Amino acid sequence: MVTDSNPRPAKHKRISPELSKKKHFNKFFTSHLSSRSSKTFKPKKNIPEGTHQYDLMKHAAATLGSGNLRNAVQLPDGEDLNEWVAVNTVDFFNQINMLYGTITEFCTEDSCSIMSAGPKYEYHWADGQTVKKPIKCSAPKYIDYLMTWVQDQLDDETLFPSKIGVPFPKNFIQIAKTILKRLFRVYAHIYHQHFSEVVRLSEEAHLNTSFKHFIYFVQEFNLIDRRELAPLQDLIDKLITKDGR
């Protein structure tokens, strides 16, 4: 059982024409999933246009279009690590938000009375603020708590600043680690409890690509402890072996 407890300079970089011509993974990913589900589980988190983070998001999407996820997750030359982690954390929230949105009708109080990832792993919810003592709850309730909590973190300008000149908090990477650790649990639940529905909806390729992107990113910057990845370690090993690493 697992429980929970717990000034930037003005920079605007022009994205090269070569990158802008590449296929944008995020645009393809979101447009395809949107055709399946007219709504996301939670409102999509948008990065304001005209900000450096927006430029970074475009760069990330263009690089993903090259097809090399290992290279795509690497910190671009001259960029700030906090900013790169922030942009990608928002992106993963949006991806998981849409993926879970496609199977919410199958994830119910009856079908998923506990939040689990297979028979060995059960998650109890606590955010350390409104819910201080871990509580046992259904998967839909847990994921609702989780996604609402993540949304609140992303919307907090003191944690995820989007305005020029506002610094990231000194413990930002630790904050991002907690968010990503919890988002992983949604992937784990989908794979263990709802993969048959994902296949039936013909969304397995999108789930696998999104998860591989997520894993490569958290591995690149050591953002999730290996023990937290245990529910999907076999799948992770297969993905890495398939890519020759």
Residues 60/91, Cβ–Cβ less than 8 Å: yes
Q: Is 137 annotated as a binding residue?
A: no
Using DSSP, state whether 218 is helix, strand or coil. Answer: helix
Q: For the chain, what is the total number of helices (H) and then of strands (E)?
A: 9, 2
Q: Which residues are annotated as a binding site?
A: 107, 112, 189, 194
Q: Which residues are annotated as a binding site for Zn(2+)?
A: 107, 112, 189, 194
